[in-house]
Structure 1
Amino acid sequence: MSEPTLLNNEIRDWLMDCGLFDQLQLADFAAASGYFSISTVAEGEAIFREGDAGSFMCIIHTGQVAVQKTGADGQVITMATLRSGRAFGEMAVLDGERRSATCVAASNCQLLNLGKDSLEKMLNDAPKIAAKIIRALAVSLSKRLRMADGQLAAQQI
């Protein structure tokens, strides 16, 4: 096995910092780092658009990302502003559906990216680590859904 690259070490450290993957061991982070990549996105740049095929997901390392939907009247509505440590785009990667929203860099961003193909490769190469990552994403999605349910219920009262 080759020595880990500086880039893989940086990705490993970012994965450890994001807080999403508390169930992973140090060796798991090192192994997972080879499946992620880093991207830099300038403020105002679209990361992906509503309706696009979901070929990758992101975790914010630095910066903020606006989640936007277009209303029936054509108005763009910002649904949320995501900060460091938040994952986004994972729904499309997990379920194979098209993007449910547009995500735009609200400031200059550094992102960790996990492609659908890389996740499939991780499932084949390192299934236990992939399972931990998918479980962490599912827990994150579940928390968001519960929050949204609570907000909907509060609006009904």
Structure 2
Amino acid sequence: MAEAAGEPVVAGGGDIGGKTTQELIAQVDIFAGLPPVHLRRVVDIGLEETFKRGERIFSEGDAGDKFYLILDGAVRISRFVTGIGEEALAVLRAGAYFGEMSLIDEAPRSATALAHERCQLFVVNRADLEDLLFVDRDLAYELLWNLVRTLSRRLRATNDKMTFLATTNKF
């Protein structure tokens, strides 16, 4: 995905309405390739939440204990930069997900998430997911492997951006 320097990334597949939550999560990288029985188990532990435009989903520094998948609408991920203010890192749309780092560690949130427009999110609590993964080792293996691939892809993209910034003296 191309992005102009200083502009937020726009990710996700746009409106993917008219499908069940199970059908929606099956289209997302982190759940790709999971059999229907595993998808159903994930849907069973999650819940849907709606946020109004401008409503804060979480703030940088908050405890991270949930993972979010955008079913409809858009979410802005940003950080506060001293002397500058809010710096938008990404605008995520339906089909995108965020907060997955909280599934791995107990570190505070690394950015702020705001409803860029009214949005409907599928939310999974870390404790519920850990319980599920403890009792279903096959699901745990598949899901964690997908998560590793996702984080690897994001790290590579960050490395590419850092290289670009370093070679264009924009550091």
TM-score (ref. length: structure 2): 0.80
Paired residues of 1:18 and 1:84 also in contact (CA < 8 A): no
Q: Could you list the runs of 5+ residues in structure 1 that have no partner in the other structure?
A: 1-8
Which of residues 111, 119, 124 in structure 2 aligns to 1:109?
A: 119
* Corresponding position of 2:55: 45
Q: How many residues align?
A: 149
* Corresponding position of 2:145: 135
Of residues 70-79 and 56-65 in structure 1, the stretch that sits farther from structure 2 once superposed is 70-79
How much has 1:60 moved relative to structure 2?
A: 1.0
* Corresponding position of 2:33: 23
Paired residues of 1:32 and 1:129 also in contact (CA < 8 A): no
CA RMSD of the aligned region, Å?
1.7
Which of residues 139, 147, 150 in structure 1 aligns to 2:157?
A: 147
Of residues 24-33 and 61-70 in structure 1, the stretch that sits farther from structure 2 once superposed is 24-33
How much has 1:12 moved relative to structure 2?
A: 1.7
Paired residues of 2:29 and 2:150 also in contact (CA < 8 A): no
Paired residues of 1:66 and 1:105 also in contact (CA < 8 A): yes
How much has 1:74 moved relative to structure 2?
A: 5.7
Structure with greater helix share of residues = 1
1:37-60, Cα deviation, whole Å (9 max, x unpaired): 111111111110000000111011
The secondary structure found in structure 1 opposite 2:37 is: helix
Paired residues of 1:15 and 1:21 also in contact (CA < 8 A): yes
Distance 2:118 2:56 in 1: 11
The secondary structure found in structure 1 opposite 2:134 is: helix
Identity of aligned residues (%): 28
Structure 1 stretches of 4+ moved >2 Å: 17-20
Of residues 83-92 and 129-138 in structure 1, the stretch that sits farther from structure 2 once superposed is 129-138
Distance 1:146 1:14 in 2: 26
How much has 1:86 moved relative to structure 2?
A: 1.6
1:37-88, Cα deviation, whole Å (9 max, x unpaired): 1111111111100000001110111111111101122611111111222221
The secondary structure found in structure 2 opposite 1:104 is: strand
* Corresponding position of 1:68: 78
The secondary structure found in structure 1 opposite 2:161 is: helix
How much has 1:125 moved relative to structure 2?
A: 2.1
Paired amino acid for 1:25 = P
Which of residues 120, 124, 132 in structure 1 aligns to 2:134?
A: 124
Of residues 46-55 and 129-138 in structure 1, the stretch that sits farther from structure 2 once superposed is 129-138
TM-score (ref. length: structure 1): 0.86
How much has 1:156 moved relative to structure 2?
A: 1.4
Which of residues 8, 11, 16 in structure 1 aligns to 2:21?
A: 11
